[in-house]
Structure 1
Amino acid sequence: MNATVKFALSMAIFGSIGYFSAKANLPSIELVFIRCICACVVLSIVYLFSKRKKEEIEKKEIGYSVLCGVFLVVNWVFFFRSFEHMSVTVAVSIYHLAPVLVGLLGSFLYRERITFKLMLTVIICFIGTLLVGGMQDYLSIDELMSAGLPWAFGAALFYALTTLTGKKIAKLNPVITTIIQTSVGIIMLLPFVKWDYFLHLTGENWFYILLTGIIHTGFVYYLFFSSLPKLSSGSIAVLVFIDPAVAIFMDIVLTAYRPDIFQVIGIVLIFWGQTRAAFKRKISEVKEEVF
């Protein structure tokens, strides 16, 4: 399976995560914790029984994997928390501000002058975010913030950091990379897990929980991290649209969600900004030089 197919498949599967997480009936921290355990166990078994060549493991890449794991787990928690406050369509649209944030982070890290075009893109995406978040339905900023906007935006920020860091992991086996990252997640979240939430889950809940752990976490991130270093910025910019397309399609078809006209305009503005940021600023160049 080549890198393009792997990345496209990972985006398509991940696009269904909002629907499956709702069926899991667990809060964000507990769901991410179980996902990390499932992925870590499954991928450890896969790695132990796979035919593998002797690998030279660089300490530097292990460090990147740990850091990437921290960003990834925070990204997951924020992303799933956003589903608790807003529809999948709204959360996913805001979440895909990440390429714009990659451009901003790259400018700050290189101490480059922020161009007028970049600022215009940021402003347009910001307006789109407010519209998607339902700005017109809230009387104050506090009400808007309580609707889940900070969680979705925070998820976008940490997704951008995950992408930037993940690009530096080029030699380490992607299975080992994901095992390290999910192990980091288990250690990070263990002190915060509330075990009472697991007492009243149904068999159907556990089916969706295990599915999100094994498929949406272990398998997807194996595909993601094994393909990311091999793709150009142009390919990434196009393929990432598979994720929100699947998510929004499932939200509209399966849950009968209907965005209002303001939210539709906001979605268009955000994805226009995402496309502009991804193509105008070469993501691959940013990733290669960041750390």
Structure 2
Amino acid sequence: MREKLSFVLSMIIFGAVGVFAKYIDLSSKEIALFIASAALNGNWIFLFQAYKETTIANAALSYYFAPVLVIMFSPFVLKEKLSLKKTVCVGIALLGLFFILQNGRMGTTGYHLLGIGYGLVAAGFYAVLTLVNKFIRDLDGLAITLLQLGLSVTMLLPFVLFTGGLNFLKITGDAVILMLVLGILHGGIGFYFFRST
């Protein structure tokens, strides 16, 4: 029961990321640096870019394609069997993705395929993160979280500094508050709950 509650809490927290990230007036890599303790770099950079390029709904729906990718790759990586039920679910998810892409191309809010593409790339990074974590057995959720977040900061800081640096003049008081919420709640607490399941 505790694991299910942790999972539900992590999904609620992660589900609200876009509401905060959409309104921070910084580049995706700068946002990811300030909340690098939230997850691995590629996942966050592409997710935040998806929020910048399309609607929160399109970005989130394409990003939450990650479990489908995990199911598709688990027979190869984890040697799990792909049951008929899982195959049907993947098919339905692919159909849903098709409809999202159609909406992105012909929607009234503009052309959103680039943002949906970024969301799918972020989903790919998230799926890799999920599959890799299946092989980590000797560490608890907190240790995994701290290790991955520390490595994320170590890798992302040079990337941000060598690709344009930080624009401290664009950081407003509102942006600082939103980034603190992203970093502490969505990154630290949400990531910990997710790793505790």
Report the secondary structure of 1:24's partner residue.
coil
* 2:155 aligned with 1:188: yes
How far off its partner does 1:208 sit?
0.6
Q: Structure 1 vs Structure 2: percent identity of aligned residues?
A: 33
- 2:175 aligns with one of 183, 196, 205: 205
Which residue pairs with 2:59 in the alignment?
91
Does structure 1 retain, via aligned residues, the 8 Å contact 2:36–2:156?
no
Unpaired runs of at least 5, structure 2: none
Separation in structure 1 between the aligned mates of residue 52 and residue 98 of structure 2, nearest angstrom: 18
Matches within 5 A, 1:235-250: none
Which residue pairs with 1:238 in the alignment?
none
Structure 1's 130 and 36: CA in aligned 2 closer, same or farther, altered over 3 A? Answer: same
Which of these two proteins has the greater Rg computed from alpha carbons?
1
What is the aligned-residue RMSD (CA, Å)? 2.8
* 2:106 aligned with 1:137: yes
How far off its partner does 1:191 sit?
2.3
Which residue pairs with 2:195 in the alignment?
225
Q: What are the superposed Cα offsets for residues 91-150 of structure 1, whole Å, 9 maximum, x if unpaired?
A: 111112222211210233367897777666545433422321325528xxxx764x3222
TM-score normalised by L of structure 2? 0.81
Unpaired runs of at least 5, structure 1: 40-68, 229-291
Q: Which moved more, 1:204-213 or 1:187-196?
A: 187-196
Letter in 1 for 2:21: S
Separation in structure 2 between the aligned mates of residue 14 and residue 111 of structure 1, nearest angstrom: 28
How far off its partner does 1:204 sit?
1.0
Q: What are the superposed Cα offsets for residues 51-71 of structure 1, whole Å, 9 maximum, x if unpaired?
A: xxxxxxxxxxxxxxxxxx7xx
Separation in structure 2 between the aligned mates of residue 89 and residue 17 of structure 1, nearest angstrom: 12
Structure 1's 136 and 149: CA in aligned 2 closer, same or farther, altered over 3 A? Answer: closer
Structure 1's 170 and 118: CA in aligned 2 closer, same or farther, altered over 3 A? Answer: closer
Report the secondary structure of 1:172's partner residue.
coil
Separation in structure 2 between the aligned mates of residue 7 and residue 92 of structure 1, nearest angstrom: 17
Letter in 1 for 2:140: N
Q: What are the superposed Cα offsets for residues 182-241 of structure 1, whole Å, 9 maximum, x if unpaired?
A: 121112212221334331221111111111111111111111112x2xxxxxxxxxxxxx
- Any runs of at least 4 consecutive aligned residues in structure 1 with deviations exceeding 6 A, and if so which? 110-117
TM-score normalised by L of structure 1? 0.57
Matches within 5 A, 1:10-89: 10-36=10-36, 72-89=40-57
Which residue pairs with 2:125 in the alignment?
158
Structure 1's 167 and 195: CA in aligned 2 closer, same or farther, altered over 3 A? Answer: same
Aligned length: 190
